Amino acid sequence: MIRVVVVDDETLVRDGLCAIAELEDGIEVVGEAGDGQDALRVVEQTHPDVVLMDIQMPVMDGVEATRRLCDRPDAPKVIVLTTFDRNEYVYEALRAGASAFLLKDLHRRQLTSAVRAVVEGETLVAPAITRRLVETYCQGPPQVDGRPAALAVLTEREVEVMALVAAGRSNSEIAAELFLAEATVKTHVARTVAKLHLRDRVQLVVLAYESGLVRARG
């Protein structure tokens, strides 16, 4: 049973998310909170596997709550839920350690699939959303020729895959473009994350922009 805590300052939204999660076999809502500070208390009491986290909330916002939760040795996975277009804090939430980023207008099945995916260790961010997030909020150096010094530990293939991940390509799209098996692409991504001492695919994208491997469009 996957244990979930729902955090949102809007009661109607929170109730809806709880209802969606409870309808799914194998998922149990063990707590809910209306702000980030309350979320820390609820998580401490209930020890969930996953936290569905809003960003803009009173008392403590979702960015700070995510940062504090992810700093814990027994940290739950955090799925950020937002309206995106009016939310300048999403990038910082991902840097804080969120495992997924979803829009609030998602379908029920997308939400429950995301919960299962992050528990299995996946990072779930739609490629187009990842690209837009970083282009909007990441202020890195100009794109460089060749390989940035920060990526010196990577092979040429790993750098190539990293750039495509940052460009918003899924593993299957990268596999098709480079004529590789999808499993091979997944291995390259995992090795790159490990070599760079990153948490997940999201941080890999962030570093690609911050290092100058790829450039945000103006």
For 12, residues 6+ apart whose C-beta sits below 8 A from its C-beta are none
- Render pLDDT for 47-66 as a digit per residue (tens, 0 to 9): 999 999 998 899 999 989 99
Three-state secondary-structure class, residue 53: strand
Q: Residue 32's pLDDT band (boundaries 50, 70, 90)? A: very high
- Residue 166: the pLDDT is 82
Residues 55 and 63: beta-carbon distance below 8 Å: yes
- Residue 218: the pLDDT is 46
What distance in Å separates the CA atoms of residue 168 and residue 157, rounded to the nearest whole number? 17
Share of the chain above pLDDT 70, in %: 83
- Type of residue found at 8: D
Q: Could you give the angle at the alpha carbon of 9 between the alpha carbons of 59 and 53, nearest 5°?
A: 90
- Render pLDDT for 61-89 as a digit per residue (tens, 0 to 9): 998 999 999 988 889 999 988 876 555 66
- Residue 170: the pLDDT is 77
- Render pLDDT for 193-217 as a digit per residue (tens, 0 to 9): 999 998 777 788 878 888 888 775 5
Torsion 185-186-191-197 (CA) sign: positive
* pTM, rounded to two decimals: 0.70
What distance in Å separates the CA atoms of residue 63 and residue 70, rounded to the nearest whole number? 11
What distance in Å separates the CA atoms of residue 9 and residue 36, rounded to the nearest whole number? 9
Q: What is the mean pLDDT of residues 8-31?
A: 92
- Residue 141: the pLDDT is 55
Q: Kindly report which listed range (61-65, 108-112, 173-177) carries the lowest average pLDDT score.
A: 108-112
What distance in Å separates the CA atoms of residue 113 and residue 167, rounded to the nearest whole number? 24
Residues 79 and 118: beta-carbon distance below 8 Å: yes
User: Best-predicted range by mean pLDDT among 25-29, 134-138, 197-201?
Assistant: 25-29
* 2-7 and 50-54 strand pairing: parallel
Q: What would you measure as the largest C-alpha separation in the chain, in angstroms?
A: 51
- Residue 146: the pLDDT is 61
Q: What is the mean pLDDT of residues 146-161?
A: 86
What distance in Å separates the CA atoms of residue 36 and residue 42, rounded to the nearest whole number? 10
Three-state secondary-structure class, residue 4: strand
Share of the chain above pLDDT 90, in %: 43
